[in-house]
């Protein structure tokens, strides 16, 4: 791996405080219910782990992995599930946890697929929201931070499977 230049966007302490705030709101919204928390792999696992530990409502967890097909790094807009849930969702309260909403294509398709499975409710919690890149209308129910159109890494987000381990979110400036 080549050396990279990064700049801290959200330090660990700011992230921890925001995760606690999100968990408090979600716990209030789902008081008296049990959640099925669905993490979108790979990027959401760090955020999701911190979020569920901060919840005050019981929950079970499962994961999906999505795939977008296209040439190179450009999405065709065709999105499918590469790893499906193992837990039935009919009649359950679902909370989808995603690392970042970018174009909105992946989450729009995932929500559409999950709604067809008849959950009691379905909401989305995104750690980061990059509004400037939206290609389809999509609004997450809970958002950690809105960010500018920059490539970010850390706290589960990666560049070529690197940087996920960083405890903060950083803007990747360049690879030297």
Whether 102 is a known active-site residue: answer: yes
DSSP calls for the chain: ---EEEEEEE-HHHHHHHHHHHHHHHHHHTTT--EEEEEEETTTHHHHHHHHHH-SS-EEEEEEEEEEE-STT---SEEEEEE--SS--TT-EEEEEEEEESSSHHHHHHHHHHHTT--SEEEEEEEEE-GGG-SS----SEEEEE--S--EEBTTB-BTTBSTT-SSEEEEEEE-
**Pick the catalytic residue: 50, 93, 99, 102?**
102
Catalytic residues: 102
């Amino acid at each position: 791996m080549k050396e990279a230049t990064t700049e801290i966007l959200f330090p660990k302490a700011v992230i921890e405080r925001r995760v606690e705030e999100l968990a408090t709101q979600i716990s209030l919204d789902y008081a008296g219910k049990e959640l099925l928390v669905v993490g979108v792999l790979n990027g959401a696992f760090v955020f999701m782990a911190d979020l569920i530990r901060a919840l005050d409502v019981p929950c079970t967890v499962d994961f999906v992995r999505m795939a977008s097909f296209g040439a190179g790094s450009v999405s065709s807009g065709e999105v499918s599930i590469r790893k499906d849930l193992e837990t039935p969702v009919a009649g359950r309260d679902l909370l989808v946890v995603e690392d970042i909403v970018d174009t909105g294509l992946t989450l729009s398709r995932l929500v559409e697929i999950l709604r067809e499975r008849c959950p009691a409710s379905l909401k989305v919690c995104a750690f980061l929201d990059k509004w400037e890149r939206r290609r389809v209308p999509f609004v997450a129910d809970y958002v950690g931070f809105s960010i500018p159109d920059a490539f970010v890494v850390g706290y589960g987000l990666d560049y070529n499977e690197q940087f996920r381990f960083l405890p903060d979110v950083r803007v990747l400036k360049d690879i030297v």
